Amino acid sequence: MGDIIPIKKNREPEIEINFSKVIRNSYTKPTQRQLFLILFQRKIMGSQSNLSDEIEEQTLGKIQELNGHYNKHMESVMNQLLSMVCDMKPEIHVNYRATN
């Protein structure tokens, strides 16, 4: 078959396994190596799902922060833009030469 890796108590993740869900349509009990791989996969996938939750939380926080800055500064930016567009000062261009 293959080498059987013993599962040590200090390295074993604290996860309960329901054998009927893990190995379907099987009449044999899973081997120790299969159990080790299943536990290892669950440990890794659990940490990845936690990581994705943290990233999603950080993203939502940044979006809220950006919306706050937008709402805070939108009025002043609009006022500056309107003042630049509406305040026209008629001046003669420096290179203009009057012809008689």
Question: Where are the chain's structural domains?
Answer: 9-86
Q: How many residues does the chain have?
A: 100
- Write the DSSP string, the chain: --PPPPPPGGG-------HHHHS-S--SPPPHHHHHHHHHHHHHHHHHHHHHHHHHHHHHHHHHHHHHHHHHHHHHHHHHHHHHHH-------TT-----
Which pLDDT value is given to residue 39?
84
Which pLDDT value is given to residue 62?
96
Task: Specify the pTM.
Answer: 0.41
pLDDT digits (tens, 9 = 90+) for 54-91: 899 999 999 999 999 999 999 999 999 999 889 888 88
